[in-house]
A and B are shown apart, each in its own frame.
Chain A
Amino acid sequence: MRLELRIWRQPRRDADGDFATYHVDASPDMSFLEMLDVLNETLTEAGDDPVAFEHDCREGICGSCSLMINGRAHGPEPGTATCQLHMRKFRDGDVIRIEPWRSAAFPVLKDLVVDRSDFDKIIQAGGYISINTGSAPDANLIPVPKRSADLAMDAAECIGCGACVAQCPNGAAQLFTAAKVSHLALLPQGQAERDQRVLRMVAEMERAFGSCTNYGECEVVCPKGISIEFIARMNRDYLKASLRAGSGRPKGSG
């Protein structure tokens, strides 16, 4: 199959960027990233700068890959990260527009590579349980109802790719933050720091990202199908924590 690609090219963080058009012959069995590999081999052989894009595991789990494909984060196939998308989902002659994540919080570093380090800062603000190595009690000491454990796992599956932010018209990071807040709040081990965790993580989130106005597009593009219900759960937690902290009206967290 022959495809026309319109790809965002930008040499550096502070440089201007623009779309460039390329043609590539692909096979339906290729993954999307393999199709880009083929393009890059051709560009290199011709002496042109290959397209920079982020990838590592190519198994849909590390969260590195991050492409806006025809305006949709990770492309047309639901529940699928870019690296797991295959060319059989496209047709011969298709024109494909490929952009980096678009969000004020994710500045472009080069071509399709963006800086997502603000996600790490949200976790650093409190997305953990404070327990030093070696001080844990026996793992079976505290039973965890299977339902809670399963639900915590549903939230914990987030791969931190940033598709939720990229697709959100406001560039909000609620789904990412809520996934971690909920994962830990659903487990007995996460209770001691529950209030302070949600307050700090939400504060950090609001510092760096836009605010949530319930578009719900994050859930649609999430490659792991993280449910938007976790946002409601985080908001409830936040409200309770704010009241308990006596901090007056909770800040608008959506």
Chain B
Amino acid sequence: MHLDAKIPDGPIQEKWDRHRFEMRLVNPANKRRFEVLVIGSGLAGGAAAASLAELGYHVKCFCYQDSARRAHSIAAQGGINAAKNYQNDGDSVWRLFYDTVKGGDYRSREANVYRLAQVSVNIIDQCVAQGVPFAREYGGLLANRSFGGAQVSRTFYARGQTGQQLLLGTYQALSRQIATGQVEMFPRTEMLDVVVSDGRARGIITRDMVTGEIRPWSADAVVLATGGYSNVFFLSTNAKGCNATAIWRAHRRGALFANPCYTQIHPTCIPQHGDYQSKLTLMSESLRNDGRIWVPKDPSESRAATAIPADERDYYLERRYPAFGNLVPRDIASRAAKAVCDEGLGVGHGGRGVYLDFADAIERLGKPAIASKYGNLFEKYERITGENPYEVPMRIYPAPHYTMGGLWVDYNLMTTVEGLYATGEANFSDHGANRLGASALMQGLADGYFVLPYTIGDFLSRHMGEEPLPTDSEPFRAVTAEVDERLQRLLSINGKRTVDSLHRELGQICWEHCGMSRNAGGLRSAIDSIRELRDEYWTNLKVIGSGDELNQSLEKAGRVADYFELAELMCYDALLREESAGTHFREEHRTGEGEALRNDEEFAYVAAWQSTQPGKEPILHREDLDFPNVPLTQRSYK
């Protein structure tokens, strides 16, 4: 299969404008003849559904929560980047583009990233016009902060709830279209498969999560905006319902899956404190602006943190990275925390934690200043841990947070299945091997508001006058039967173990061998263990109840079944990639000082995987990447 990314010709600054001009338009009277299914109501899906409806297409939008407003985007805290240069500190579209390509460790597609930086400015305009209450200065203009180690202040924010406010903006735009009937919204409806015939997406199969009804939906195009797959690790910062089912089923039906091993582990999360733990909570990255990270120098240290004198503490980030100190990028901060804990220096439950200490900042700036910056976060920390960070240092540890990998898409955001699109965290396109802080919200909204609504028109215009496949046609009946059969299988195993217990074990395998650091032996053994455990899953699982009722165990069982397959692919991808790039750290490939070592000669490509039968090796396709605009360098934060 030849992977054609369909990148427009011309200088990078002109590609998107040129493409927009060259794409065909659908005339307004014809738009209403087209129906588009949008799966997902997060920033990527909600924005696409609302914008497509405004243009006149008929849209059906689906989500698994009880309301579109609860999509996982709601949980994003820190902010959204845009190259507005309102602070006049030297930012520009070019700089945002450059930072994002470099931050992604040169494993993303330049043309996509440039477009992202370009439309970032429109996003902020759009959101403000919708009534998103971004933080403001006393003069009434928008406030910005620097985030995730960026050297310019380009991050827009709404207290610690930026994702919430952006999503409510999107939800409101969507609600307006629902009121006019242009969008039909189907909450509590889970997509369980996609129908592909003659290489083209024809529709989807869903399950009504209240009645259990299985239903086919036919349309002219299908958009998957279903978010990321960090929950493959069981414990992550993602919402409990986040799942890979939609993209995984699409993969099984022919869509290539790109770079599955690029998973971001966020350095500042509250450490695990028990075996019953159900999720990990992110503490905003902004804490690293004032907090100092350290561990005791002595592995047998038993004193309370505050009783350990300064010269017996190792401020390891400041020591190893004097230029960036506590503000090194996420992947580096995470690996360094793991390294000191592996040496036995970690603190708290199981020795898996490091201190994030505000004592110096409180002394320097005063408690009120710290409270005004981080008060909410401190309260949240105390609520969860019972400890007061004004008095004792926080304990933090890295946790799975975001997945850069996802369905392979071309410049138009179309997967390798015609008429099937993937947007937001569900695709692989813009962040390479490492995502920078405040860039996921930007990408979700860029895809949803400003890219997909145009590119999909070009596709539809080429299929004018074609009728969607009827839902009682053979392809729909076949996939419906498979979906039914699969649910029945899950319900009838009647073994001994719960979904959660098996998912937890799968998560441990992935975390151990395909988490913050990886090696060939570990990955091979992980593939074997995953297969074994998957066999156990399908023979010893216990799901109570039936398919025709609200059944949360059955919902979970289907999602975890897909994670079992995805986990294996993730390990294959990590095994293949004999280099360290961004979040993907192969122990065999590091510099003399232990830092990540890329291999641009052999690995400057996107690994796009084709599905085979489960248990068989997937087939690799490569999209070579080149970097005519951002010269390749080794990242250094020393």
Contacts and interface: CB of A to CB of B under 8 A. Distances in A.
Contacts of A31: 278, 384
A60 B137 CA distance: 28
Interface in A40-83: 41, 43-45, 47-50, 52, 54-64, 77, 80
Interface stretch (A1-9, A146-154, A165-173, A243-251): A146-154
Interface stretch (B64-72, B254-262, B364-372, B576-584): B64-72
B384 A128 contact: no
Contacts of A130: 176
Contacts of B282: 59
Interface stretch (B4-12, B485-493, B496-504): B496-504
Interface string A137-158: 1111001111001101100110
Contact of B139 (A28, A64, A143): A143
Nearest to B500: A41
A38 B504 CA distance: 13
B550 A110 contact: yes
27 contacts: A29-B386, A31-B278, A41-B498, A44-B498, A45-B498, A49-B544, A52-B552, A56-B241, A58-B279, A61-B75, A61-B161, A61-B164, A62-B75, A109-B550, A120-B185, A128-B173, A133-B51, A134-B122, A134-B450, A136-B128, A138-B125, A139-B125, A140-B141, A144-B140, A159-B164, A189-B128, A189-B129
B138 interface: yes
B383 A12 contact: no
Given A128-B130, A149-B134, A133 B140 contact: no
B240 interface: yes
A84 interface: yes
B413 interface: no
A182 B571 CA distance: 50
Given A50-B553, A62-B74, A109 B210 contact: yes
Contact of B172 (A56, A86, A123, A143): A123
Contacts of B185: 120
Interface string B27-70: 00000000000000000000100110010000000000111111
Contacts of A139: 84, 124-125, 127-129, 142
A47 B497 CA distance: 11
Interface stretch (B269-277, B457-465, B562-570): B269-277
Contacts of B496: 45
A177 to B, nearest CB: 14
Contacts of A38: 276
Interface string B148-175: 0000000000110101110010011101
Interface of A: 11-13, 27-31, 33-34, 37-38, 41, 43-45, 47-50, 52, 54-64, 77, 80, 84, 86, 88, 109-110, 113, 115-117, 119-120, 123-125, 127-140, 143-146, 149-150, 152-153, 156-157, 159-160, 183-184, 187, 189-190
Given A61-B74, A109-B550, A124-B179, 11 more contacts: A37-B278, A38-B276, A45-B542, A77-B383, A127-B172, A128-B175, A136-B126, A139-B142, A153-B159, A156-B133, A189-B131
Interface string B263-296: 0000000000110111101100000000000000
Contacts of A127: 172, 175
Contacts of A77: 383
A190 B498 CA distance: 50
Nearest to B453: A133
B624 interface: no
Given A29-B273, A134-B126, A129 B54 contact: no
B483 interface: no
Query: What bracket does the count of chain B residues touching chain A fall in?
Result: 35 or more
Contacts, number: 223
A189 B453 CA distance: 24
A133 B50 contact: yes
A136 B169 CA distance: 14
A133 B450 contact: yes
Interface in B581-602: none
Closest 10 CB pairs of A and B: A143-B140, A128-B172, A136-B129, A136-B125, A139-B128, A133-B51, A153-B133, A56-B239, A110-B550, A124-B179
B136 A57 contact: no
B68 A56 contact: no
A55 B544 CA distance: 19
Contacts of A146: 136-138, 140
Given A31-B278, A117-B187, A58 B240 contact: yes
Contacts of B159: 153, 157
B383 to A, nearest CB: 6
Contacts of A113: 550
Nearest to A26: B276
B454 to A, nearest CB: 10
Interface in B536-564: 542, 544-545, 549-550, 552-553
Contacts of B172: 123, 127-129
Contacts of B65: 56, 62, 64
B135 interface: yes
A43 B172 CA distance: 40
A223 to B, nearest CB: 11
Given A11-B549, A128-B175, A120 B67 contact: yes
B67 A117 contact: yes
A43 B134 CA distance: 46
Given A128-B175, A146-B137, A57 B74 contact: yes
